[in-house]
């Protein structure tokens, strides 16, 4: 049995792939699903344009496991242009435990693997990795984030990747909570391979004005989407006040990717096509 067929068998993708799902969105805006290699077939069948992969899970694979992942992606044939969950929790980028040599080694390994999977945007959320220890000077932490951003951007550029900073709600980290703060980090790094993404769930949780999309539009490279009420699949305009966010996204003329980072309230198969129809209709 070839490695290609063995990978398909091990991951069970051949059996569950089924017929191809609906084609890509008619606009240039693409819709993806935040999942794993094992979710590729189901995402394709549901009609997603791509899957957004978890960097840290793939970075810790053995070479053999990674080879099977590459084979599986090729077998299913669904693009994976974006990845998230960049840094493991113990790879600190702020505070007294920063280890630049370890950071650099991880950057090369993880970004090299992402490049092999044709990833072009890596989302930098990683709330635990960037969490500032109690009592550590905030100004020094910000300086560390900027210095890390410059090294990460240089490594990303070598691999043809853009790192997109993800602001996270206060419950998930204690630094860089809003898109405005993320934009300030991006501007301080001042590198074309270090840009911004916006997750509607975090924007809504922090009650940030969606007008930030217009302010930051030159630096926004990606979006995440969820219904903030339970972080579930968005299904209908009546379930939450999406209007301002959608209006500004249309106004900024964004033509990149929006990944659904959420769980279904019932089943993936039932809700994923409804989510795609809702988003495509709202942003047409």
> Within 10 Å of residue 136's Cβ, how many Cβ atoms?
15
Q: How many helices (H) and strands (E) does the chain have?
A: 13, 8
**Interatomic CA distance for residues 97 and 191, integer angstroms:** 25
Q: Which residues lie below 8 Å from residue 140, measured CB to CB, with a gap of 6+?
A: none
Q: What is the pLDDT of residue 11?
A: 42
pLDDT cut 90: percent of the chain above it:
90
* pTM to 2 decimal places: 0.90
In the structure encoding, which two tokens stand for residue 104, read together?
Answer: 């650099």
**Interatomic CA distance for residues 113 and 263, integer angstroms:** 27
Q: What is the pLDDT of residue 15?
A: 35
**Interatomic CA distance for residues 49 and 169, integer angstroms:** 27
- Which CATH architecture best describes the domain 3-282? Alpha-Beta Barrel (3.20)
**Interatomic CA distance for residues 207 and 169, integer angstroms:** 10
CA dihedral sign of residues 40, 45, 48, 49: positive
Give residue-wise pLDDT tens across range 61-95: 999 999 999 999 999 999 999 999 999 999 999 99
Q: What is the pLDDT of residue 284?
A: 86
Give residue-wise pLDDT tens across range 215-252: 999 999 999 999 999 999 999 999 999 999 999 999 99
**Interatomic CA distance for residues 97 and 242, integer angstroms:** 40
In the structure encoding, which two tokens stand for residue 212, read together?
Answer: 């930030």
Residues 177, 145 contacting (CB under 8 angstroms): no
Give residue-wise pLDDT tens across range 2-33: 443 334 333 443 333 333 333 333 348 999 99
Q: What is the pLDDT of residue 273?
A: 98
């Amino acid at each position: 049995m070839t490695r290609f067929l063995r990978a398909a068998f091990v991951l069970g993708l051949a059996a569950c792939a089924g017929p191809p799902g609906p084609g890509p969105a008619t606009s240039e805006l693409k819709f993806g699903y935040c999942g794993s290699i094992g979710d590729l077939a189901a995402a394709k069948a549901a009609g997603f344009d791509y899957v957004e992969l978890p960097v840290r899970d793939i970075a810790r694979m053995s070479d053999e496991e990674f080879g099977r992942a590459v084979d599986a992606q090729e077998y299913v044939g669904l693009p994976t242009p974006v990845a998230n969950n960049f840094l493991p929790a113990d790879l600190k980028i702020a505070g007294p435990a920063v280890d630049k040599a370890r950071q650099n080694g991880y950057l090369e390994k993880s970004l090299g693997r992402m490049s092999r999977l044709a990833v072009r945007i890596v989302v930098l959320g990683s709330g635990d990795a960037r969490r500032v220890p109690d009592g550590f000077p905030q100004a020094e932490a910000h300086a560390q984030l900027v210095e890390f951003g410059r090294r990460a951007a240089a490594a990303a550029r070598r691999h043809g990747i853009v790192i997109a900073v993800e602001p996270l709600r206060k419950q998930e980290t204690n630094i860089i909570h809003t898109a405005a703060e993320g934009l300030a980090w991006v501007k301080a790094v001042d590198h074309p391979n270090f840009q911004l993404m916006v997750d509607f769930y975090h924007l809504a949780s922090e009650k940030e004005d969606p007008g930030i999309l217009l302010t930051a539009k030159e630096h926004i490279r990606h979006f995440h989407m969820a219904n903030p009420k339970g972080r579930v699949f968005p299904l209908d305009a009546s379930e939450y006040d999406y209007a301002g966010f959608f209006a500004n996204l249309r106004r900024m003329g964004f033509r990149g990717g929006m990944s659904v980072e959420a769980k279904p309230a019932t089943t993936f198969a039932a809700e994923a096509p409804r989510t795609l129809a809702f988003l495509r209709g709202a942003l047409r």
